Amino acid sequence: MELEDFVNRLCERIIAYMQSAEEPGKLVEYSPAESLSKITDVHLPLEGHGADAVFDDIDEFLRHCVKTNRPEFMNPLWGGLSPAGFAGEVITALTNTSMYTYELAPFATLIEQAILKRMGELVGFSGGAGTLATGGSNGNMLGMLCAREVAFPSSTHRGIDGTKMAAFVSAESHYSVLMSANVIGIGHRNLFKIACDEDGRMRPDALMEEIQRARSEGLTPFCVVSTAGTTVRGAFDPLVEIGEIAHQEGLWHHVDAAWGGSAMFSGSLSRLMEGVEFADSVCWDAHKMMGLPLICSAFLVKQADVLAKVCAHGNVAHYLFHESSKDHDLGRYSLQCGRRNDALKLWLAWRECGDAGWAALVENYVALADHLESKVNEHGNLEMMSSRTWTNVCFRYVPTAIGMDSNELNSELRARLMRNADFMVSRSNIGEEVVLRSVISNPGITQRTLDAFVEEVLRIGNDIEQGLPRES
């Protein structure tokens, strides 16, 4: 097959997929794993099928994938499609470079440095450092590694006895902090979960109590992880108060702003991030609220030398790193060696819309979440399950039938939403209560989308109450 023909056939499918977001249709042709495995072919052949078969396989993949570009997709903390970001992904794959040395990626290096500098300025880290990481989970791990290095100098080289260390996180923090505790060597049991207030925000008084308790047990507190935009409720921990405690107690303060960092663009919403400038490190995912294709995540640190120590490679890679390019070899500030160019897509999108465009996007998402909350409050069969400041809308269907279990009803309601594939939201828990969590982070979402979603929830909830079976 000629190269031009191959590219043209590929472009036809790309255009068709992008246009499908504006046409009637379902998010996915839902099939349980057992059924899908029987109707699809994923085996790896001994002899190749040839170039023509590539397009049959692409068609099959697109037929069964979740259409995350559609406005009805409101499940995780990301969604939609950024054309500029997509263009960056294509060019990144086309040029196929790695980001460890300047000589391999000269222009890409300057782009990544410019992005990290600007994001650092936004959070108040002028003069700091950073790296693009594999996601907020990796960013949280880097923050805790930096904290470990500061509290226990040279631990990166000599190792540690993590059984005597203590870190502190919100009870509603992202699960990645547990993985980070494992990786950095302190274990899950030395990760203290701090009680939250009724709005899902870490309580500073409870943090202080737990720090004192850890010390009374012979442990050495070294790190506090705050959350700016929790996964379920979208709550923002009180960064000023937590930062003051961390400074007073000599602890590293890392802020997980993977979800909420984009509030920094908005004059009216940046108050949610007040105090982040006093933190020691921050992670911030551009693939979430900013809508870039996965993965596009930044880790930012106020003290550049700390990140360099954590990522030190002992100068053994003489085949890569040389003194002449020391200031521009990004591999010196990353745990990764091979690392794709995730900066280009963010740079192209940022150049397209500017800070003002990001601000307008974020503010529109919050306004849409306000609209959805108001629609929930209009109906007696729906109720909000938490206060909200961000774009997470946590609510449930309230049965009118006496004695009907609300958790069972809402679990079934979400299962039917998933099977119908007209809308996709997540099933979450707040305390013991099952809730429907709709997240607004998809540029295709409109008030009309949300109105239709509420009507669908009401229809399915009523069907369940009436004992009607699932649609076939």
Q: What is the mean pLDDT of the chain?
A: 91
Q: Do 195 and 339 reside in the same domain of the chain?
A: yes
* pLDDT value of position 316: 60
333 within some domain: yes
Q: State how far the Cα of 349 lies from the Cα of 178, in Å rounded to an integer.
A: 33
* CB within 8 Å of 187: residues ≥ 6 apart: 162, 163, 181
Amino acid of residue 313? H
* CB within 8 Å of 276: residues ≥ 6 apart: 123, 124, 228, 239, 255, 257, 264, 282
* DSSP codes, 98-125: -SS-TTTSHHHHHHHHHHHHHHHHHTT-
Q: Do 19 and 94 reside in the same domain of the chain?
A: no
Name the domain boundary from 350, 378, 411: 350
Q: Do 11 and 111 reside in the same domain of the chain?
A: no
* CB within 8 Å of 205: residues ≥ 6 apart: none
140 within some domain: yes
Name the domain boundary from 350, 367, 383: 350
Q: Do 245 and 344 reside in the same domain of the chain?
A: yes
> Angle at which helices 343-378 and 106-122 pack, to 10 degrees?
40
Q: Per residue in 181-234, pLDDT tens?
A: 888 888 899 999 999 999 999 999 999 999 999 999 999 999 999 999 999 999
Residue 201's alpha-carbon distances to 161, 175, 198, 388, 390, in angstroms, are 31, 16, 7, 11, 13
144 within some domain: yes
pLDDT of 140 strictly over 90: yes
Q: Do 16 and 118 reside in the same domain of the chain?
A: no
414 within some domain: no
Q: Do 106 and 62 reside in the same domain of the chain?
A: no
Range of the domain at 36: 3-67
Q: Per residue in 393-444, pLDDT tens?
A: 999 999 988 778 999 999 999 999 999 989 999 999 999 999 999 999 999 9
- Mean pLDDT to the nearest integer, 96-122: 91
Q: Per residue in 415-424, pLDDT tens?
A: 999 999 899 9
Q: Do 305 and 161 reside in the same domain of the chain?
A: yes
- 3-state SS class at 284: strand
- Mean pLDDT to the nearest integer, 290-318: 84
Q: Do 239 and 329 reside in the same domain of the chain?
A: yes
Q: Do 28 and 116 reside in the same domain of the chain?
A: no
pLDDT band at 23; cut points 50, 70, 90: confident
Lowest-pLDDT choice from 38-42, 141-145, 188-192, 260-264: 38-42
CATH number at residue 102: 3.40.640.10
Q: Per residue in 247-284, pLDDT tens?
A: 999 999 999 999 999 999 999 999 999 999 999 999 99
Q: Do 131 and 259 reside in the same domain of the chain?
A: yes
Q: State how far the Cα of 439 lies from the Cα of 79, in Å rounded to an integer.
A: 9
Question: pTM for this one?
Answer: 0.93
> In the chain, how many domains are there?
2
Lowest-pLDDT choice from 47-61, 147-161, 315-329: 315-329
Q: Do 121 and 21 reside in the same domain of the chain?
A: no
Q: Do 122 and 229 reside in the same domain of the chain?
A: yes
412 within some domain: no
% of the chain surpassing 90 pLDDT: 69
pLDDT band at 72; cut points 50, 70, 90: very high
pLDDT band at 319; cut points 50, 70, 90: very low
239 within some domain: yes
